[in-house]
């Protein structure tokens, strides 16, 4: 285990959001996993980068039997899956596990590298005991993005499909057999956000995996508007990303930020311009 990498990618803090929900924060507070407890069981949502030290941290927070699920299977969300025997994910998420080659750790050294992938699907209900999570498929940023809705407690967990800083619409590791077509992804994103909008009550709080949580429902409206304004041709295009790591990973400056109000996507500019102003 490389101690420098653990210090960067595998250092966790946590706080209780309410009597039965923990936020586990990492990457200097910019990223979150959630530990969602019912009366009988708890569910850990996402597993970080795979530093190998998450399970004892989580077991310190709860003694309840644990389910583990991925909002999606990008390396910062599914890297640590092999610390457990079984992980719940959507079928497209299973395809995205290939992106975990980007993890800074050797994931074959985790205790359960051949852990069981238990596939769930849209509409499934996960009963934790006096608390039910509904699985909602919202794939656009990834091939298997899962939102979890807790109607009773008015909480919605959204992974990377909705957040305050930006939603990345450009995969850094290609997934064999899956073409990432921006036009399709943006249309799907809008439909997904409209669907989520219809499920929220006035008081539902939204919990993303990066850059602040909970966030205002206004972000949801702004993301719906962003896609509409891209196709209308009046969304704002910013050539400077203002994101250190994204800029480092884009030496040819292919990416831009396209924005409407508080919402923005990172997209390949050349792909964006093929859609821009073409009408929804
Ligand atoms: Zn992601």
User: What does 252-269 look like in DSSP terms, one character per residue?
Assistant: T--EEEEEETTEEEEEEH
Work out how many domains the chain is built from and give that number: 1
Question: 26-66 pLDDT, tens per residue?
Answer: 999 999 999 999 999 999 999 999 999 999 999 999 999 99
What does R_g of the chain's alpha carbons equal in angstroms?
18
Q: Is residue 21 part of a domain?
A: yes
Question: 215-247 pLDDT, tens per residue?
Answer: 999 999 999 999 999 999 999 999 999 999 899
**What is the b/e burial string over 101-135, where b = at least 16 CB atoms within 10 angstroms of the residue's CB?**
eebbbebeebeeeebebeebeeeeebebeebbbbb
Q: Is residue 280 part of a domain?
A: no
Task: Beginning with the edge strand found earlier in the chain, give each strand of the sheet holding 31-37 in spatial order.
Answer: 13-18, 21-26, 31-37, 42-45, 66-69, 86-89, 116-119
Split at pLDDT 50, 70, 90, the class of 172 is confident
39 CA → ligand 1 middle, Å: 30
Q: Is residue 199 part of a domain?
A: yes
Contacts of 256 (CB under 8 A, 6+ apart): 237, 238, 239, 241, 266, 267, 269, 272
Residue 156's pLDDT is what? Answer: 98
Q: What percent of the chain has pLDDT over 70?
A: 99
Q: Is residue 15 part of a domain?
A: yes
- In degrees, rounded to 5, the angle at the alpha carbon of residue 262 between the alpha carbons of residues 259 and 267 is 30
pTM of the predicted model, to two decimals? 0.97
73 CA → ligand 1 middle, Å: 7
- In degrees, rounded to 5, the angle at the alpha carbon of residue 147 between the alpha carbons of residues 226 and 41 is 160
CATH code assigned at 204: 3.60.15.10
Strand segments, DSSP code E, in 29-171 are 31-37, 42-45, 66-69, 86-89, 116-119, 125-127, 132-137, 146-150, 155-159, 167-168
Q: Where do runs of H (alpha helix) occur along the chain?
A: 3-9, 54-61, 75-78, 91-96, 182-199, 218-232, 244-248, 269-275
Residues with CB under 5 Å of ion ligand 1 are: 74, 160
Q: What percent of the chain has pLDDT over 90?
A: 95
DSSP state, 148?
Answer: E
130 CA → ligand 1 middle, Å: 30
187 CA → ligand 1 middle, Å: 18
Residue 3's pLDDT is what? Answer: 66
DSSP state, 99?
Answer: G
Residue 245's pLDDT is what? Answer: 87
- Distance (Å, whole) CA 89 – CA 202: 29
270 CA → ligand 1 middle, Å: 22
185 CA → ligand 1 middle, Å: 14
3-state secondary structure of 60: helix
Spatial contact of 275 and 231, defined as CB atoms under 8 Å apart: yes
105 CA → ligand 1 middle, Å: 18
Q: Is residue 103 part of a domain?
A: yes
101 CA → ligand 1 middle, Å: 14
159 CA → ligand 1 middle, Å: 7
Q: Is residue 43 part of a domain?
A: yes
10 CA → ligand 1 middle, Å: 17
Range of the domain at 157: 3-275
71 CA → ligand 1 middle, Å: 9
78 CA → ligand 1 middle, Å: 10
Q: Is residue 70 part of a domain?
A: yes
- Distance (Å, whole) CA 84 – CA 107: 12
Per the model's pLDDT, the better-predicted residue between 111 and 244 turns out to be 111
174 CA → ligand 1 middle, Å: 13
In the chain, the N- to C-terminal Cα span, in Å, equals 49
Q: Is residue 117 part of a domain?
A: yes
Question: 125-166 pLDDT, tens per residue?
Answer: 999 999 999 999 999 999 999 999 999 999 999 999 999 999
Total number of residues shown for the chain: 280
45 CA → ligand 1 middle, Å: 13
């Amino acid at each position: 285990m490389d101690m420098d990498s653990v210090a960067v990618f595998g250092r966790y803090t946590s706080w209780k959001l309410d009597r039965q929900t923990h936020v586990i924060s990492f990457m200097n507070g910019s990223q979150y996993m959630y530990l969602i407890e019912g009366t009988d069981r708890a569910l850990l949502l996402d597993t970080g980068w795979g530093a190998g030290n998450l399970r004892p941290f989580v077991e310190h927070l709860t003694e309840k039997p644990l389910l583990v699920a991925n909002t999606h299977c990008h390396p910062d969300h599914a890297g640590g899956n092999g610390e457990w025997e079984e992980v719940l994910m959507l079928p497209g998420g299973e395809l995205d596990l290939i992106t975990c080659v980007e993890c800074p750790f050797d994931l074959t050294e985790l205790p359960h590298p051949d852990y069981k992938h238990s596939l769930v699907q849209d509409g499934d209900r996960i009963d934790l005991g006096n608390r039910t999570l509904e699985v909602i498929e919202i794939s656009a940023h990834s091939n298997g993005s899962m939102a979890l809705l807790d109607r009773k407690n008015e909480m919605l967990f959204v992974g990377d499909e909705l957040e305050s800083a930006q939603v990345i619409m450009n995969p850094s590791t290609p997934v064999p057999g899956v073409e990432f077509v921006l036009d399709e992804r943006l249309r799907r994103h809008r439909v997904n956000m409209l669907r989520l909008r219809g499920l929220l009550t006035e008081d539902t709080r939204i919990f993303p995996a990066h850059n602040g949580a909970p966030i205002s429902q206004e972000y949801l409206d702004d993301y719906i508007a962003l896609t509409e304004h891209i196709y209308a041709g009046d969304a704002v295009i910013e050539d400077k990303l203002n994101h250190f790591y994204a800029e480092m990973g884009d030496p040819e400056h292919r990416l831009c930020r396209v924005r409407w109000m508080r919402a923005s996507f990172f997209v390949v500019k050349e792909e964006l311009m093929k859609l821009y102003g073409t009408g929804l």
